[in-house]
């Protein structure tokens, strides 16, 4: 599932931190409402999805209830990446009602966000499946949830751009502004083999090609100019298109022959997937 080795190494610690912070945010010092219930009431709760979507977030749900009460048991009927139908049962959670209630909103929040990311990724990926172009994400993620959303992109069939500023070099327009031009910027970089350079027009693209840059990001190129760049490139560099690409035009961009398309909307313009948790069990005496 996880093709990105760096993401895999970061995932476990990220999940624990995500849940710790979310529970602290939601519970504070205590769950005042659940404290009104008797301590020994046990039962179970079902999580159901209320619309068609790609399921994602199982690890976050497990960590949520693990941190609250290690005696809670979860029986799963779905795994990350499954295509779920409306009203399908995702899992059954068994244990003390107080414990389950404490984690209800946090668990559902992660499911709705990550399933939303995976579903939007899968939708765009499906639109370009007839082409060899690969769909990539960006760093436009919810603060503190970078790793979680990058994981959800993989679940939805997409690919990860750099995780952060620490794992890949990408020289963009603001870096160029330091030197005043693409040419001067590249002349001041010692090793250009393993970097990506953003260009904003054909003139800059041709300038970068001279330096044998491995990966070129074509920002806000028209489809006509993108075709021209692909033709001039002749397979020398990996070409990635980005900027104002959406479900209405992504196939047209992919048909230019560009290697990659990166879309920020799959992680920043999220339509949350609707989940609910329904309880049943013993009544208090």
Residue of 16, 48, 139, 140 with catalytic role: 140
Question: pLDDT tens, 34-76?
Answer: 888 888 899 999 999 999 999 999 999 999 999 999 999 999 9
Of residues 16, 172, 227, 228, which has the active-site annotation?
172
Nearest to 98 by CA among 68, 60, 61, 66: 68
Topology at the third CATH level for domain 126-268 = TIM Barrel (3.20.20)
Question: What is the C-alpha to C-alpha distance for residues 64 and 69, in angstroms, rounded to an integer?
Answer: 9
- Marked catalytic residue, from 219, 240, 259, 260: 219
Please give the pLDDT value at position 283: 53
Active site residue 172: yes
pLDDT in tens, 118-167: 999 999 999 999 999 999 999 999 999 999 999 999 999 999 999 999 98
Q: Is 263 left (phi over 0), alpha (psi -120 to 50) or beta?
A: beta
User: What's the pLDDT tens digit per position in 196-231?
Assistant: 999 999 999 999 999 989 899 999 999 999 999 999
Domain ranges of the chain: 14-124+271-281, 126-268
Is 140 a catalytic site residue? yes
Residue 209, by phi and psi: left (phi above 0), alpha (psi -120 to 50) or beta? alpha
Choose the catalytic residue: 105, 139, 183, 268.
Answer: 105
Please give the Cα distance from 143 to 115 (Å, whole number). Answer: 17
User: Residues 63, 198, 204, 259: which is the catalytic one?
Assistant: 198
What does pTM read for this prediction? 0.94
Band of residue 284 on the pLDDT scale cut at 50, 70, 90: very low
Mean pLDDT is lowest, of 21-25, 134-138, 185-189, for 185-189
- The answer to whether 163 touches 146, Cβ cutoff 8 Å, is yes
241 vs 256: CA distance, rounded Å:
10
Q: Where are the alpha helices (DSSP H) in 28-96?
A: 58-68
Kind and range of the H or E run holding 279? strand 275-281
Q: Tell me the fold of 14-124+271-281.
A: Aldehyde Oxidoreductase; domain 3 (3.90.1170)
């Amino acid at each position: 599932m996880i093709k990105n080795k760096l993401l895999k190494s970061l995932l476990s610690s990220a999940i624990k931190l995500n849940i710790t912070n979310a529970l602290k945010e939601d519970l504070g010092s205590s769950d005042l409402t659940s404290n009104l219930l008797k301590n020994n009431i046990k039962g179970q709760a079902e999580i159901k999805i209320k619309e068609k979507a790609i399921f994602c977030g199982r690890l976050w749900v497990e960590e949520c209830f693990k941190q609250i009460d290690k005696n809670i048991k979860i029986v799963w009927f779905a795994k990350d990446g499954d295509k779920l139908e409306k009203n399908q049962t995702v899992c059954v959670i068994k244990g003390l009602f107080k414990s389950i209630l404490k984690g209800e909103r946090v668990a559902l929040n992660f499911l709705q966000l990550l399933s939303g990311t995976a579903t939007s990724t899968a939708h765009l990926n499906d639109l370009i499946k007839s082409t060899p172009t690969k769909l990539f994400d960006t760093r436009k993620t919810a603060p503190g949830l970078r790793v979680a959303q990058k994981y959800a992109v993989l679940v939805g069939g997409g690919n990860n751009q750099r995780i952060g500023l620490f794992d890949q070099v990408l020289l963009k327009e603001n870096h160029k502004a330091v030197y005043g031009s693409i040419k001067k910027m590249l002349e001041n970089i010692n090793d250009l083999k393993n970097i990506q350079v953003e260009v904003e027009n054909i003139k800059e693209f041709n300038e970068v090609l001279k330096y044998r840059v491995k990966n070129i990001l074509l920002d806000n190129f028209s489809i006509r100019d993108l075709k021209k760049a692909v033709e001039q490139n002749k397979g020398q560099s990996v070409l990635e298109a980005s900027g104002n690409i959406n479900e209405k035009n992504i196939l047209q961009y992919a048909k230019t022959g560009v290697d990659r398309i990166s879309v920020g909307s799959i992680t920043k313009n999220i339509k949350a997937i609707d989940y609910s948790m329904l309880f049943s069990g013993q009544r208090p005496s």
